[in-house]
Amino acid sequence: MESHQDIKASEKVKCLIIGSGPAGYTAAIYAARANLNPVLYQGIQPGGQLTITTDVENYPGYPDGVQGPQMMVDFEKQAARMGADIRFGLATKVDFSAHPHKVWIDDEKLIESDAVIIATGASAKWLGLKSEERLNGFGVSACAVCDGFFFRGKEVAIVGAGDTAAEEALYLSKLCPTVHMLVRRSEMRASKVMQERVLNTPNIKIYWNTEAEEILGENKTEAVRIRNRKTGEIQTIAISGFFVAIGHEPNSAIFKEWLDRDEAGYLKTIPGSTKTNVPGVFAAGDVQDKIYRQAVSAAGTGCMAALDAERWLNEKGLH
């Protein structure tokens, strides 16, 4: 049986948090401790990108490492214990034209909130191969900095031609005997300095005009079948890790009418804060961070957003 709260058409809250990765849950922990009675909607992927990450070994406080999904369960439990109201639901539309801010959940329920913290994250772009999806977490990854360590001493491949791909290839080159870099065109998009570094690294082998056709292996990544787009030549390379570095897509589309975004769609925040161009709306985590994109930096900005929101509510006499 539905509770009265679920069937209400609208509801007024003091602090609404949209998204449930490290940024959203950390914001919820801080906001709850500040008595802002935060309501958090988990979005389409509760726990965010970490739920498709297996081992997390670089987050402080977990000396033996932790599974990504378990870590997000821990974050959620802590936020709930502090008093955050955590709910299933996806923000589908917003109206930031007047105060209080309006956010629609699942196209039906309207939440009016004094402060809104956006922590909707970003989604990795994938090639769209069936095998890529099947072996995701079993040798296939979209984050070399997160997962490269597990392939120390092993052969790996990376797809991409931008600065991120170049940076990740260089990172992997310090861990792996050979990094097979697959570039779709006859040139890279990366900045000149990054290209030079890649070209001057002897154990990065570049395959120009090349795309991945299939990742091979039953329960783990064992090889990649590649095709030269000019000659049609097919080749199979034995690898243990396959990294996709073709970019991330910030989950910011529903805010574009109201909030300033950069050319890639990341929400812009006022330097040194999490404030957006709309007073009372704050952004944290990967939806506004295209540089670091780590769980620990996302959690840090979640903390900042809650503190910024608390100060703003106090200044406005709303808390």
Whether the pLDDT of residue 20 is over 60: the answer is: yes
CB 68 within 8 A of CB 51: yes
Report the pLDDT value the prediction gives residue 189, as an integer from 0 to 100: 92
Whether the pLDDT of residue 54 is over 80: the answer is: no
User: Which amino acids are annotated catalytic?
Assistant: 143, 146-147
CA torsion, ordered 248, 251, 255, 256, to nearest 10 deg: 30
pLDDT digits (tens, 9 = 90+) for 272-316: 999 999 999 999 999 999 888 899 999 999 999 999 999 999 999
pTM for this model (two decimals): 0.81
pLDDT band at residue 50 using 50, 70 and 90 as cut-offs? confident
Whether the pLDDT of residue 265 is over 70: the answer is: yes
pLDDT digits (tens, 9 = 90+) for 68-78: 899 999 999 99
Helix 163-173 to helix 192-199 angle (10° resolution) is 30
Whole-number mean pLDDT of the chain?
94
pLDDT digits (tens, 9 = 90+) for 226-244: 999 999 999 999 999 999 9
The average pLDDT across 1-24 equals 78
The average pLDDT across 101-113 equals 96
The average pLDDT across 129-144 equals 93
Domains of the chain and CATH, by start: 4-123+248-315 (3.50.50.60), 126-244 (3.50.50.60)
